[in-house]
Amino acid sequence: MFVRCLYSTEQTKTKCLKINAVQQKLMQQFLLKKGDFSKFVNTAIKDSDFVAPVEGSREKQNTRPFFREISSADEIYLGRKSYYTVKGFFFRENEKIFGFNGNKIINPESELKDTIYFGLRRCDLNGIYHQDIVFLDENEDPFYKARRDASLLIGYHCREGDDYCFCNSMELVDFFDLMFYDKGENYAVETGSEKGNSFVKKYSKFFTKADNAVSDEDRKTVNRKKLNTADIKDDYDNDDWKKGSDICVSCGACNFLCMNCHCFDFEDDVEFDLKAGSRIRKPASCQLRSFTRVAGNHVFRNERNARFKHRIYHQLQYFRERHNVQFCTGCGRCIEGCPVRIDWVEIINEMKK
Amino acid sequence: MPKPKVGFYDLTGCQGCLLSVIFNENEILDMLSKIDVKEFRFIMDEKYSGKLDVCFVEGTVVNKEDEKVLGKLRERSKILVALGACACHGNIPALRNFADEKKLDYLKYEKKHEQMQDMEKPMPIAKFVNVDYSIPGCPPDRDEIKKFIKEILLGKEFRNYSDPVCRECRLFENGCLIDDGQICLGPLTKGGCHAVCTTNGFKCYGCRGVTDDANFEGYFRLLEEKGKTDVQIKKHMETFAGIEINEKLKDTEWQQLH
């Protein structure tokens, strides 16, 4: 994977730059005719599972785009950034961690097929990059790793952001196997990994080599919204946070729509013989009271305001202090998906005025 | 360990909750092999008047007779469980609490008042006796019933699902009914129902009761912005968990609304 160097310590910086120099050489550019696009997708679908954004479906009472496994290129919808993220494919609700029968541990069997994820925006890809830091670098999570190993990430570049996103304000990196840029008659395609290169080789009849197909101008995204990214370390006690937390209805939508949020809870489920069962992992939300409830019914962040601040500080402060990378990718889904449309970006901008 | 003696009883209600117990077709035999069912009128004729380890009670207390039956059940039971929205929150039978009595005057002329129950305000069972556990919902979720029985058998403390309906709604990638301008009680209501109503396009009526940290003020503000009137919101909220919501909003203007 091509990841622009972000690490601040000298040692990691040198190492990172070396890796980047090697990776830079890997990067190749191609053109794919739009007329061939459907054929290309339909061919790829025959070889692997293919996940892409689709328009909302009536059966789901949902008019907003979301990712799903598709069976034909006609289903793909690239008109706008998807409302629901691709996160659920990697980090699942009710993931069986292990089964048990008496004292015997039974590891869950998985039949993973190679999956192509298409139409990921830069914010989605960076979200996966952050999930990798948590689930692969910090402590390796075998379930996440298996899914990531079986995945090929294909990006689709946003020319223009919507009313909610502010990705230009965040430190995003180039992280993809392939990246598609809309160039009128063609798609310019850039590879970002060995995996991406072999993918292009496999479907070489659709791709024509074209150096300099992607210009710096192509890589830009126009954003209407901006976040003042000045340090918020000393603003913890600012009263302005209440502007958000007072109207928050504690539904957790911001967490579940966020590409980065990765907190989870465990639950044990037993069979009626009371001997066999399984341990299950499910996504949790730091905006809900249950999140910090511990034995004795003690709740660490009982106030809504404390929970609200915790989310923003995790997005902008804590993760960066720990991993040198800004966590939030500026997709704005937490604002768009919030029933109240709490605009924390505006709250911070006001605070910093 | 001897099997716990369990009874399933009903007060005034539709008895759908008891059906939720026996609708666990795949596991009902396993379940019945672990507990000693002493009375359950849907599946057996026997009556039982001895002591019970676990007593499930469904329905609302609407008259003195219900109150008497409930009191006796409490005396006989170690663990008493409120099963379903009626037992937990009053549900539809408790709508009478919010009825305009003048509108019921016609019953007098039709000589139907004699048939009316002697208790004016139907109430959830916790108003009359001490309730150890609640399994809310109209009907209660059959997985939660199974989970409850297993945890009791294991000697564990049963923990209700406390996150709002919105959690499951978002995980199932549903559209947001509030965004669509509907009075959906999702953000205020405890989930664990697999968001069954909202996933099928029906707004949430709050049958599983109010979450621990519901922000009513924020919710009213949100719906008012969407053009909903207080009376519309109140009517919607009273349907299933009206008594609980009324108590939470005690001494506010809310109670004067009609």
pLDDT in tens, A168-214: 999 888 899 999 999 989 999 999 989 999 999 999 999 999 888 88
Strand partners, A160: A222
Comparing A240-249, A272-281, B92-101, B200-209, the range with the smallest average pLDDT is: B92-101
CA distance A224 to A317: 23
CA distance A129 to A172: 10
Q: Rounded to 5 degrees, what are φ and ψ at A148?
A: -70, -40
Residue A176's identity, in one-letter code, is: F
pLDDT above 60 (res A97): yes
In the three-class reduction of DSSP (H, G, I as helix; E, B as strand; rest coil), residue A332 is classed as coil
How high is the pLDDT of residue A62? 66
How high is the pLDDT of residue B17? 94
How high is the pLDDT of residue A3? 56
CA distance A154 to A152: 6
CA distance B215 to A38: 48
Minimal CA separation from A62 to chain B, in Å: 4
Q: Residues 6 or more apart from B257 whose CB is under 8 A from it?
A: B230, B231, B234
How high is the pLDDT of residue A22? 62
Tell me the average pLDDT across A228-235.
91
Mutate to test the interface with A, among B150, B154, B167, B190 (most CBs of A within 10 A): B167
CA distance B121 to B93: 9
Chain B CB contacts of A60 under 8 Å are 172-175, 199
pLDDT above 60 (res B173): yes
The residue that leads in pLDDT, A195 or B251, is A195
Q: Is A334 within 8 Å of chain B by CB?
A: no
CB pair distance less than 8 Å for B179 and A249: no
CB pair distance less than 8 Å for A247 and B27: no
Contact predicate B118/B63, CB 8 Å: yes
CB pair distance less than 8 Å for A288 and B171: no
Q: Which residue of A has its CA nearest to B222?
A: A340
pLDDT above 80 (res A18): no
pLDDT above 90 (res A295): no
pLDDT in tens, A1-13: 555 555 445 555 5
Tell me the HSE value of B201 on the side-chain side, using a 13 A CA sphere: 7
Tell me the average pLDDT across A156-173.
92
How high is the pLDDT of residue A315? 95
How high is the pLDDT of residue A51? 96
Chain A CB contacts of B173 under 8 Å are 60, 62, 66, 84, 88
Contact predicate A159/A81, CB 8 Å: no
How high is the pLDDT of residue B108? 67
Tell me the average pLDDT across B155-170.
93
CA distance B240 to A248: 24
Q: % helix / strand / coil in chain A, to the nearest 5?
A: 35, 20, 40
How high is the pLDDT of residue B113? 61
- What Å distances lie between residue A210 and A28, A30, A37, A190, A207, CA to CA? 8, 5, 17, 10, 9
Neighbours of B207 (CB within 10 A): 26
pLDDT above 70 (res B134): yes
Tell me the average pLDDT across A236-252.
94
Of B162, B201, B218, the CB nearest to A249: B218
Which secondary structure element, helix H or strand E, spans residue A90, and what is its range? helix A87-90
- What Å distances lie between residue A291 and A116, A176, A269, A322, CA to CA? 33, 33, 20, 21
Cβ pairs A/B, distance under 8 A: 105
Q: What is the secondary structure of B45-108 as a DSSP string?
A: -----S-EEEEEEESBB-SHHHHHHHHHHHHHEEEEEEEHHHHHH-TGGGGGGGS-GGGGTHHH
Chain A CB contacts of B194 under 8 Å are none
Chain B CB contacts of A62 under 8 Å are 173-175
pLDDT in tens, A309-339: 999 999 999 999 998 888 999 999 999 999 9
How high is the pLDDT of residue B228? 93
Comparing A49-53, A124-128, B170-174, the range with the smallest average pLDDT is: B170-174
pLDDT band of B115, cuts 50, 70, 90: low
Neighbours of B227 (CB within 10 A): 8
Neighbours of B156 (CB within 10 A): 13
Chain A CB contacts of B32 under 8 Å are none
CA distance A353 to A346: 11
Q: Of all residues in chain B, what percent carry a pLDDT higher than 70?
A: 95
Contact predicate A157/A181, CB 8 Å: yes
pLDDT above 80 (res A244): yes
Minimal CA separation from B123 to chain A, in Å: 28
CA distance B38 to B153: 16
CA distance A314 to B150: 37
CB pair distance less than 8 Å for A246 and B147: no
Residue A183 exposed, middle or buried by CB count within 10 Å (0-12, 13-18, 19+): middle
Chain A CB contacts of B201 under 8 Å are 61
Q: Which residue of A has its CA nearest to B213?
A: A289
CA distance A190 to A169: 24
Question: Model's pTM, two decimal places?
Answer: 0.90
Give the residue from B207, B210, B203 showing the smallest Cα distance to B181: B203
Minimal CA separation from B134 to chain A, in Å: 17
CB pair distance less than 8 Å for B173 and A285: no
How high is the pLDDT of residue A15? 55
Q: Is A270 within 8 Å of chain B by CB?
A: yes
Report A:300-329 residues touching B (Cβ under 8 A).
304
pLDDT above 80 (res A60): no
pLDDT band of A50, cuts 50, 70, 90: very high
pLDDT above 60 (res A143): yes
Chain B CB contacts of A290 under 8 Å are 162-163, 212
pLDDT above 70 (res A114): yes
Mean pLDDT of chain B: 90
Q: What is the secondary structure of B102-147 as a DSSP string?
A: GGGTHHHHTT-GGGS-S-SS-B-GGGTS--SEEE-BTTBPHHHHHH
Contact predicate A154/A118, CB 8 Å: yes
pLDDT in tens, B9-57: 999 999 999 999 999 989 999 999 999 999 999 999 999 999 999 999 9
Tell me if ipTM is over 0.85.
yes
CB pair distance less than 8 Å for B186 and A256: no
Chain B CB contacts of A93 under 8 Å are 171
CB pair distance less than 8 Å for A256 and B170: yes
Structure token pair of residue A185: 């008659």
pLDDT above 90 (res B191): yes
CB pair distance less than 8 Å for A304 and B162: no
Q: Residues 6 or more apart from A115 whose CB is under 8 A from it?
A: A48, A49, A50, A51, A89, A147, A150, A151, A152
Of B172, B173, B218, the CB nearest to A340: B218
